[in-house]
C-alpha cells in the first residue's frame, strides 16, 4: 500500500507541476496582449486552456483515487486536501487569464494610458508573485508563502491607486470612456488572480504547518467548533 501511495502522490505532484507551468504561460500571454505590438496566437491560448481543463480533471480523479484506496491521515491528508484546493485556484487563474487576453485588444489601443498608470509594473508584480508561489509550493516553504500573502494585501493599495487614476481619466477625457471601462474590468480580474495566488500560499502554509491563516483575527482555528 505504501508503494502505491507514493506512486500516486508522485503522479499528483507531476500533474500539479504541469498545471503551474501552463497557467504561467497564460499569464505571460496577458503581458503580450496588453503591452506588445505582436499579436497573440489565440489557437495556442485555447490549446493551453484545454490542457489546463484536462489536467484539472486528472488531478480531481487522482485525489479521489488516493482518498478512496489509501485513506491518508495527518500530513498526507492535509497535502491531498490542499492539492484539491490549489488545483481549483490554478484552474481559475487560467480561466481569468483567458478572459483578460480577449478583453485586452481594446485596451491595447491606448498604450499611453497604460504607461501613465504603470500598469505594466502592476502586472509584472503579479507575475513575480505567481513565480514565487510556485517556488514556495515546490520547496514547501511556508515562510515564503506567508510573504506572498502579505504582498497580496499590500498590492491592494496599488490597485486602488490605479483605479482612482482611471476614473480621473474617464472624467477628464470622455473619449477614453469605453477603453477605460474595459481597463477597470481587467484590473478587477487581475485582483482576482492575486486573490487566488494568496489562497495557494495559504494552502502551502496549511500543508507545512497545519495552520489556517485565512482569518488572522481568530486566535485558534481549532476553537471554531466550540463556538457553534
Q: What is the pLDDT of residues 60-102, one digit of tens each?
A: 999 999 888 877 778 888 899 999 999 999 999 999 999 999 8
pLDDT exceeds cutoff 60 at 223 = no
CATH number assigned to the domain covering 2-217: 1.20.58.220
pLDDT exceeds cutoff 90 at 138 = yes
Under 8 Å between Cβ of 34 and 69: no
- Which residues neighbour 205 within 8 Å (Cβ) at sequence distance 6 or greater? 142, 145, 146, 149, 211, 213
Domain ranges across the chain: 2-217
- Residue 173 or residue 99, greater confidence: 99
pLDDT value, residue 219: 47
Dihedral, CA of residue 89, residue 199, residue 21 and residue 118, to nearest 10: 110
pTM above the 0.85 mark?
yes
Cα–Cα dist 32/53, whole Å: 22
Cα–Cα dist 166/168, whole Å: 5
Cα–Cα dist 198/133, whole Å: 8
Name which of 58, 64, 55, 69 is nearest 3 in CA terms.
Answer: 69
How confident is residue 214, by pLDDT bands cut at 50, 70 and 90? confident
Amino acid at each position: 500500500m505504501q508503494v502505491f501511495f507514493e506512486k500516486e502522490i508522485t503522479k499528483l505532484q507531476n500533474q500539479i507541476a504541469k498545471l503551474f507551468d501552463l497557467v504561467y504561460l497564460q499569464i505571460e500571454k496577458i503581458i503580450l496582449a496588453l503591452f506588445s505590438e505582436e499579436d497573440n496566437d489565440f489557437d495556442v491560448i485555447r490549446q493551453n486552456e484545454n490542457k489546463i481543463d484536462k489536467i484539472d480533471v486528472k488531478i480531481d480523479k487522482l485525489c479521489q483515487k488516493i482518498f478512496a484506496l489509501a485513506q491518508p491521515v495527518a500530513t498526507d491528508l492535509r497535502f491531498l486536501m490542499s492539492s484539491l484546493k490549489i488545483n481549483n485556484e490554478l484552474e481559475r487563474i487560467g480561466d481569468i487569464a483567458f478572459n483578460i487576453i480577449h478583453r485586452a485588444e481594446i485596451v491595447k489601443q491606448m498604450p499611453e494610458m497604460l504607461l501613465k498608470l504603470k500598469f505594466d509594473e502592476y502586472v509584472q508584480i503579479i507575475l513575480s508573485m505567481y513565480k514565487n508561489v510556485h517556488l514556495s509550493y515546490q520547496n514547501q516553504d511556508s515562510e515564503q508563502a506567508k510573504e506572498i500573502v502579505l504582498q497580496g494585501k499590500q498590492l491592494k493599495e496599488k490597485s486602488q491607486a490605479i483605479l482612482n487614476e482611471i476614473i480621473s481619466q474617464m472624467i477628464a477625457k470622455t473619449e477614453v470612456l469605453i477603453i477605460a471601462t474595459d481597463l477597470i474590468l481587467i484590473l478587477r480580474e487581475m485582483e482576482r488572480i492575486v486573490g487566488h495566488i494568496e489562497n495557494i500560499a495559504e494552502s502551502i502554509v496549511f500543508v507545512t504547518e497545519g495552520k489556517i491563516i485565512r482569518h488572522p483575527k481568530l486566535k485558534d482555528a481549532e476553537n471554531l467548533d466550540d463556538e457553534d
